[in-house]
Amino acid sequence: MKTAKRFYTSVTTAKADNGFEVRLDGRPLKTPQKHNLFVTSEAVAEFIAAEWEAQQDTINPENMPITRLVNVSIELTPKNRDRLSEEARRYAATDLLCYRADDPLSLAERQAELWDPMLIWAAERGIKLETTDSLIAIDQPKTSLAKVKSYAASQNDLDLTLFVHLIAVFGSAILAMAVMERFITGQKGFTLSRLDNLYQIEQWGEDEEAAEIAAKLEAEVAALCKILEV
């Protein structure tokens, strides 16, 4: 990802007509496509400002997950809402939580112990998904998949962007929804999504490069989920 030299001294937030904006040396921050960057929450504006303030000699977008997410929510999400809602439905159709190990038994038991409560939570909200220990995809109830799509469509642009991002990270619409609804934390959602990986690590150890990638992804999830705390 490209970096640029830091060109500003001060970072502030301010009330704007359409919400709150971040200002660099008094000038409103813009998205890469030159749209005005604004959010409806003052706290989220402060999160973005903190990311810009934390940049040193160079600006590294990789270290600015909330800024990147807001940019996408402004530039891309409004014209792609239908596609994103459909993407959420497609993920639910092959949700990670529904595909279980048939061997070893200890992994299957752990999946049942930790994943079943999430599926029960979803079922209580009208999203009942079936499980299998086969590698062959199973058909999920159309009404349940429709509810996932409807849930996605009901989100505002920023929350829809976050929801779909979490789905992609977790491989699970149910885990992402549980995080969005504050049933579990983003960190727990990330840990549950890596249950199989963590089991393998217990058996065989962890690759250093893979561990670094996972740590960065976990930190990004934690940063993005601050949006849900305001």
What spatial distance separates the first Cα and last Cα of the chain, rounded to whole Å? 29
In the chain, domain spans = 4-64, 78-229
pTM of the model: 0.95
Task: Give dist(CA 107, CA 19) in Å, integer.
Answer: 48
CATH number of 78-229: 1.10.3580.10
On the 0-12 / 13-18 / 19+ scale of CB atoms within 10 A, 230 is exposed
Pick the CATH number of 4-64 from 3.30.2180.10, 3.30.70.580, 3.40.50.80, 3.40.640.10: 3.30.2180.10
On the 0-12 / 13-18 / 19+ scale of CB atoms within 10 A, 1 is exposed
Tens-level pLDDT at each residue, the chain (230 residues): 567 899 999 999 999 988 999 999 999 999 999 999 999 999 999 999 999 999 999 999 999 999 999 999 999 999 999 999 999 999 999 999 999 999 999 999 999 999 999 999 999 999 999 999 998 999 999 999 999 999 999 999 999 999 999 999 999 999 999 999 999 999 999 999 999 999 999 999 988 899 999 999 999 999 999 999 98
Handedness of CA 202, 183, 180, 28 (dihedral sign): negative
